[in-house]
Amino acid sequence: MRLSRYFLPVLKENPAEAAIVSHRYMLRAGMIKQASAGIYSWLPLGFKILRKLENIVHEEQQKAGHMPMLMPTVQSADLWRESGRYDDYGDEMLRLTDRHGRDMLYGPTNEEQITDTFRSHVNSYKDLPLTMYQIQWKFRDERRPRFGVMRGREFLMKDGYNFDLTKEDALHAYNRHLVTYLRTYERMGLQAIPMRADGGPIGGDYTHEFLVLAETGESEVFYDSEVTDIKLGQRDVDFDDKAQCQAILEEFTTRYARTDETHDEAIFNEVPEERRRSARGIEVGQIFYFGTKYSESMGAKVVDENQNQVPVHMGSHGIGVSRLLGAIIEASHDDKGIIWPEGVTPFHCGIVNLKQGDDEADAACEDLYAALTKAGLEPLYDDRKERAGGKFATMDLIGLPWRITVGPRGLKNGVVEVTSRKTGESEEMTPEAAINKIIAIYANL
Amino acid sequence: MRLSRYFLPVLKENPAEAAIVSHRYMLRAGMIKQASAGIYSWLPLGFKILRKLENIVHEEQQKAGHMPMLMPTVQSADLWRESGRYDDYGDEMLRLTDRHGRDMLYGPTNEEQITDTFRSHVNSYKDLPLTMYQIQWKFRDERRPRFGVMRGREFLMKDGYNFDLTKEDALHAYNRHLVTYLRTYERMGLQAIPMRADGGPIGGDYTHEFLVLAETGESEVFYDSEVTDIKLGQRDVDFDDKAQCQAILEEFTTRYARTDETHDEAIFNEVPEERRRSARGIEVGQIFYFGTKYSESMGAKVVDENQNQVPVHMGSHGIGVSRLLGAIIEASHDDKGIIWPEGVTPFHCGIVNLKQGDDEADAACEDLYAALTKAGLEPLYDDRKERAGGKFATMDLIGLPWRITVGPRGLKNGVVEVTSRKTGESEEMTPEAAINKIIAIYANL
């Protein structure tokens, strides 16, 4: 992409309404624009990253055999009356009435809709196990929306639902979700720690929240410092292997790690003092096993091997996709702007032409641009007639992990400069070496 | 994908509520499930195709330099009061009130939101031309929703908006959209004819609708039979080349082709009688140039080269993405089921094992499955213990363009059978030849 043709309305000043760094940088980098309180438009740069996050979620869910589908945003109130949640949900539910006077609502979650889909189509244990998920917009009418996309009203969420014959099978689905979530977050450059959580209005005996440590987090968290040493990494996972998935669950959840909602001082004090940590965390996902709560109330039953009608065991599992953008920025930035992890960066590298209009510099930039594009990468070429300082400030603000700087002086010596956004370190090398370096960085992502 | 693990709830009976073939087959093939009147869940097979259509639209828009972004579904009523459309829109607009009593609405279209985005960020002619688009859910509260996704209430639409300094530039944007739309439909296996249309509530002097000929179409159309002979094909298009885009517009729109709304019998009669056709058509897209209608009323102005504040010239351009699924089926099916064009098929081919459990047949199927998957294709392997007849019926219903049938008898002679869904013709060949044939078919898509 050439910056002269891209819609990137960066702001020089800090917007007054933005209280936290992710909100500030998302506005300043031209990623979002507020449409109404807690409701945002995603401008091209923001949308590009949102789409990348979505794709990572899709890939990791599908590796585990979970099936993508999509439910509508507008739901019938009747379904929620069946489960008993229509009256329970309170003011956060956006209720509406259609032209025929029917009560509808903008879905804040989808347990009812998916259970209705299930009961309409599945009636034998032979069709189990089954896990379906969607990535769809939700609405929660927060009383006081704030922090940009971190606590918006209209937000994009991945919600997945498993249907199993037995509790054991459903707990395997729970474990599968834990593994897929760990990998999803790691690919996004995040360390998200699974913490024992509270069931809340969705209910559930087994539930973990995934928290990213960040000063601006809404939750206070308490953990054994050993939990931050564990990584899923590239290990092979067979999602049909119950023992392997269970072992990963235990590896990641045996040590103490809880939010303030479930924190237990007595148990925490059993952790050796030098490993006890308290910090703040941002919730980026949650998994639940809630047994037969919805299947009983809504009649989602199957015939088992003995011809008995039994309610299925269910769980639901969510990742806040739009919120993740904010969380990544909270976890990865400096005073100049965002620092995108390589797995989610909107463009793989920036190309800064120090002297736009200089034949040699222009040609070298075009060559770099062509070679990187040919290698399947997306560079962002700042081809505007701006001063170097302004170009650097924009690149630093929008946070591409790598920058190639091209100028007449370097080209005389046959070199360009490759700079890491994270460390700020620069290295001179030939354009060919720069291309190979960038290609190598992204080869394993 | 193995069918034993896929959620594909096919129905044997024709659902009584489905009046047209696409609705019937989408329900029977387990692609959609009605959630409320005119509101559907997209089950895994339907969602897979929807996503393919979305990706084609994204690719073709981006080739023309149009930038993807995303606007929220819930909009503030105030914006619509500014343009004057809040009161005009009538009962089709789903109006709602948030917890603080603010008037909101579920967007049926987005001219106001995009104009607001534009005026907040752009104030110089130097930032033009600019075209942004989104693929987002919309809601129109149809009085009588029907025909499944063809006339639903919640529907997925691509809507794009161009902002230009002059009418000439805006008409070039119009032409670019015409070209991208033609290519989009052709990739989906559709012939969509641009027809002179009526501006309707969006307004506009220049507007064309794209219509797919089908008996069940909602519009009566009249055209010169020569229009169905023109194809865009694989020709190279330079979207910066105004003359080339204008020439394509003329090539595709000079001959008579109008819907009943703009039909003019006198002009039609100038077409040689043997080329005059009347038929029915399904509207799958529309492009508009509407000048300064919204930029004037909403104050979207830029400074021109002479430092004058001038309102920008705009157009909006839509493709009904969810409706396209129905349109493709209406245009491509037989009495056994759907026939997916290769460009949009959910799986590239089916593999039918005639004797599940037979070691040799199972092994041959697994080999085919592995080889096709390795080649980057997605086969759907019917590995269920069902009778051949049932397996064939399912494959025919869901409409994969190619089927490989594997059975012990054929394998004794070293062959499998490759069948075209469209022609019904079968050919025996070695498994290797079958793999190469399928790979070759999709190599250019």
Among chain A residues, CA nearest to B142: A99
> Nearest by CB to A75, which of B35, B132, B139?
B35
The pLDDT of A186-197, averaged and rounded, is 95
Residues A135-145 have pLDDT tens digits of: 999 999 999 99
CB contact under 8 A, A35 and B130: no
**B273 and B393 together in one domain:** no
pLDDT for B291 equals: 93
Residues B203-227 have pLDDT tens digits of: 556 999 999 999 989 899 999 999 9
CB contact under 8 A, A98 and B141: yes
Q: Report whether B343 contacts B187 (CB < 8 A).
A: yes
B65 at interface of A, judged by CB pairs closer than 8 A: yes
The span from the CA of B299 to the CA of A250, in Å, is 60
CB contact under 8 A, B99 and A91: yes
Of B281, B316, B326, give the one whose Cα is nearest residue B38: B326
Q: B289: number of CA atoms within 13 Å, CB side?
A: 20
The span from the CA of B175 to the CA of B288, in Å, is 10
CB contact under 8 A, B102 and A33: no
Size of chain A in residues: 445
Q: Final residue of a domain: which of A338, A364, A390?
A: A338
Q: What is the DSSP letter of A274?
A: G
| Residue A344 in domain | no
**What's the one-letter identity of residue A220?**
E
CB contact under 8 A, B106 and A74: yes
Domain that holds residue A330: 3-338
**CA-based angle B230:B233:B239, to the nearest 5?**
105
**B316 and B363 together in one domain:** no
Does B202 score more than 60 pLDDT? no
pLDDT band at residue A445 under the 50/70/90 scheme: confident
Residues B419-440 have pLDDT tens digits of: 999 999 999 999 999 999 999 9
**B121 and B266 together in one domain:** yes
Q: What is the CATH number of the domain that holds A334?
A: 3.30.930.10
Query: Between the CA of residue A379 and those of A348, A368, A375, A376, B129, what are the distances in Å?
Result: 6, 9, 11, 10, 22
**A171 and A300 together in one domain:** yes
**A293 and A380 together in one domain:** no
CB contact under 8 A, A71 and B121: no
Residues B302-323 have pLDDT tens digits of: 999 999 999 999 999 999 999 9
Of B95, B437, B1, give the one whose Cα is nearest residue A66: B1
pLDDT for A16 equals: 87
Residues B160-190 have pLDDT tens digits of: 999 999 999 999 999 999 999 999 999 999 9
Q: What is the DSSP letter of A70?
A: B
Query: Between the CA of residue A73 and those of A294, B139, B143, what are the distances in Å?
Result: 20, 10, 19
**B297 and B365 together in one domain:** no
The pLDDT of B231-253, averaged and rounded, is 96
| Residue A144 in domain | yes
CB contact under 8 A, B121 and A35: no
- 3-state secondary structure labels for all residues of B220-278: EEEEEHHHHHCCCCCCCCCCCCHHHHHHHHHHHHCCCEEECCCCCHHHHCCCCHHHEEE
Of B138, B183, B133, B181, give the one whose Cα is nearest residue B159: B133
Residues B360-386 have pLDDT tens digits of: 999 999 999 999 999 999 999 999 999
**B115 and B39 together in one domain:** yes
On the 0-12 / 13-18 / 19+ scale of CB atoms within 10 A, A166 is middle
The span from the CA of A283 to the CA of A195, in Å, is 10
B5 at interface of A, judged by CB pairs closer than 8 A: yes
Q: Final residue of a domain: which of B270, B305, B338?
A: B338
pLDDT for A203 equals: 54
| Residue A77 in domain | yes
| Residue A438 in domain | yes
Domain count, chain A: 2
| Residue A153 in domain | yes
**CA-based angle A230:A233:A238, to the nearest 5?**
110
Which position has the token pair 């038929």?
A: B279
Of B275, B254, B245, give the one whose Cα is nearest residue B196: B254
The pLDDT of A349-356, averaged and rounded, is 97
Size of chain B in residues: 445
> Nearest by CB to A65, which of B5, B33, B47?
B5
pLDDT for B200 equals: 67
**B283 and B357 together in one domain:** no
Among chain A residues, CA nearest to B34: A117
Of B67, B283, B311, give the one whose Cα is nearest residue B176: B67
Q: Return all residues near A371 (Cβ < 8 A) that are at least 6 apart.
A: A435
Tokens of A315: 């769980």
B139 at interface of A, judged by CB pairs closer than 8 A: yes
**B376 and B317 together in one domain:** no
The span from the CA of A49 to the CA of A29, in Å, is 12
> What's the ipTM?
0.95
The interface residues of chain A toward chain B in range 70-109, judged by CB-CB distance below 8 A, are 70-76, 91-92, 94-96, 98-99, 102, 104, 106
| Residue A245 in domain | yes
Alpha-carbon dihedral angle through residues B269, B272, B273, B277, given to the nearest 10 degrees: -80
**A38 and A64 together in one domain:** yes
The span from the CA of A81 to the CA of A297, in Å, is 10
Q: What is the CATH number of the domain that holds A375?
A: 3.40.50.800
pLDDT for B204 equals: 55
| Residue A242 in domain | yes
| Residue B409 in domain | yes
Q: Final residue of a domain: which of B318, B338, B358?
A: B338
CB contact under 8 A, A41 and B70: yes
Helix (H, G, I), strand (E, B) or coil at B124: strand
The span from the CA of A141 to the CA of A154, in Å, is 8
Alpha-carbon dihedral angle through residues B144, B146, B151, B154, given to the nearest 10 degrees: 80
**B92 and B151 together in one domain:** yes
Q: Report whether A155 contacts A138 (CB < 8 A).
A: yes
**A268 and A360 together in one domain:** no
